[in-house]
């Protein structure tokens, strides 16, 4: 079972590929996971936001998880596979977490309940009930998507729950990380790609990074250098990733990533499910130029 001590390194939030008719493309998905496993990543997240979780059914999640486990087993590697099960309904989140446990998930990623803006007592109770399922929980704080920013004291109370083993911090600053580290927190994983190295410098133990779908090996190298205290080298290497990160978040995630993976021949199609839509022609051209310049 996943432990807090396991929350180190690069956790890759995998893409969910679709055929042009919007059905799952499991062949492309298998190729995508195999490509990620060529690098020394530390874990995989199925059905995160980067995997278009709002439009993926639970039956599809189960299929994706099974393919993931099969590819990991075939690779001979041992690394955790986590499922995103958080919704803005506690009953639904508990049920999905139970199902994830039955599938054999090593842990679950639980986002702060979104849209309905519950009181803080309700958020804490939400996490408490999910944690009682028995599957290790990674809390996920992302205010710009949920419409609710939790105070550090509230997050500390969530992290004090026995089966909550850490948190993905996508707050957009280092403020929460600083407060948590000062109080001897459970692991904090960076969820804002552009802040990855800064957060590692200030106590984060790794990251769940959408951009790592593209230059996976380089992200792993940045982490490894930082873990060894070689921050000057890590800074130089991370600087090569910054233009890519900026372009990949210029339009809504994961559309730019899907387009790049399709251009690389890993995915057969960059199809997304509505209301997500493909990237603009302008961004396509900018990404082409970015990769052409990087190849020189």
Residue of 168, 186, 247, 258 with catalytic role: 168
186 is catalytic: no
Residue 29 annotated to the active site: no
| From 11, 140, 247, 258, active-site residue | 140
SS3 string, the chain, reads CCCHHHCCEEEEECCCCECCCCCECHHHHHHHHHHHHCCCCCEEEECCHHHCHHHCCHHHHHHHHHHHHHHHHHHCCCCCEEEECCCCCHHHHHHHHHHHHHHCCCEEEEECCCCCCCCHHHHHHHHHHHHCCCCCEEEEECHHHHCCCCCHHHHHHHHCCCCEEEEEECCCCCHHHHHHHHCCCCCEEECCHHHHHHHHHCCCCEEECHHHHCCHHHHHHHHHHHHCCCHHHHHHHHHHHHHHHHHHCCCCCCHHHHHHHHHCCCCCCCCCCCCCCCCCHHHHHHHHHHHHHHCC
Residues taking part in catalysis: 140, 168
């Amino acid at each position: 079972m996943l432990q807090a001590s396991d929350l180190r390194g690069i956790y890759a939030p995998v893409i969910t590929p679709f055929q042009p008719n919007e059905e799952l493309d499991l062949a492309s998905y298998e190729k995508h996971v195999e490509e990620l496993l060529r690098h020394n990543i530390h874990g995989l997240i199925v059905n995160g936001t980067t995997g278009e979780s709002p439009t993926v059914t639970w039956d599809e999640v189960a299929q994706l998880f099974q393919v993931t486990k099969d590819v990991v087993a075939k690779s001979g590697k041992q690394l955790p596979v986590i499922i995103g099960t958080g919704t803005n309904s506690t009953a639904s989140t508990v049920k999905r977490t139970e199902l994830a446990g039955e599938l054999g998930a090593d842990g679950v990623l639980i986002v702060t309940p979104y849209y309905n803006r519950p009181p803080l007592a309700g958020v804490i109770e939400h996490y408490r009930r999910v944690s009682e399922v028995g599957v290790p929980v990674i809390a996920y704080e992302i205010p710009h998507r949920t419409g609710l920013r939790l105070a550090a004291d509230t997050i500390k109370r969530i992290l004090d729950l026995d089966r909550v083993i850490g948190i993905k911090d996508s707050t957009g600053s280092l403020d929460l990380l600083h407060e948590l580290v000062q109080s001897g927190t459970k692991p904090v994983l960076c969820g804002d790609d552009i802040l990855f190295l800064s957060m590692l410098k200030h106590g984060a133990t790794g990251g769940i990074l959408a951009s790592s779908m593209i230059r996976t090996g380089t992200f792993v190298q940045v982490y490894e250098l930082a873990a060894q205290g070689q921050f000057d080298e890590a800074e130089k290497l991370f600087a090569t990733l910054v233009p890519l990160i900026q372009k990949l978040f210029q339009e809504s995630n994961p559309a730019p990533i899907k387009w790049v993976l399709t251009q690389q021949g890993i995915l057969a199609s960059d199809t997304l499910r509505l209301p997500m839509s493909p990237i603009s022609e302008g961004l396509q051209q900018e990404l082409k130029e970015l990769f052409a310049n990087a190849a020189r």
